[in-house]
Structure 1
Amino acid sequence: MNQAIQFIDRVEYKAQDKLLVFYAQVSGMMVECVIDTDKYDFADQSGAINYFETHRFDYEELAEQLIEDEQYNSAGQIVLTEVF
Structure 2
Amino acid sequence: MNQAIQFIDRFEFNVQSQLLTFFAQVSGLIVECVIDTHALALADQQAAKLYFERARFDYEDIAEQLIEDEEYNSAGQIIVAVLS
Task: Pick the TM interval, shorter chain.
Answer: over 0.9
| Deviation at residue 82 of structure 1 after TM alignment | 3.6
Query: What residue in structure 2 maps to residue 56 of structure 1?
Result: 56
Contact 2:37-2:82 at 8 Å conserved across structures = no
Could you tell me how far apart the structure 1 residues matched to 2:32 and 2:8 are? 11
How high is the TM-score relative to the length of structure 2?
Answer: 0.96
Return 5+ residue gaps in structure 2 as ranges: none
Residues matched between the structures, number: 84
Query: What residue in structure 2 maps to residue 11 of structure 1?
Result: 11
SS at the partner of 1:65? helix
Q: Partner letter of residue 81 of structure 2? A: T
Q: Partner letter of residue 23 of structure 1? A: F
SS at the partner of 1:39? helix
* 1:3-48 per-position Cα deviation (integer Å, ceiling 9, x unaligned): 0000000011011110000000000000000000000122211001
Q: Percent identity at matched positions? A: 64
CA RMSD between the two structures: 0.8
Q: Partner letter of residue 53 of structure 2? A: E
Could you tell me how far apart the structure 1 residues matched to 2:65 and 2:19 are? 20
Query: What residue in structure 2 maps to residue 71 of structure 1?
Result: 71
Return 5+ residue gaps in structure 1 as ranges: none
Q: Partner letter of residue 20 of structure 1? A: L
Could you tell me how far apart the structure 1 residues matched to 2:47 and 2:80 are? 19
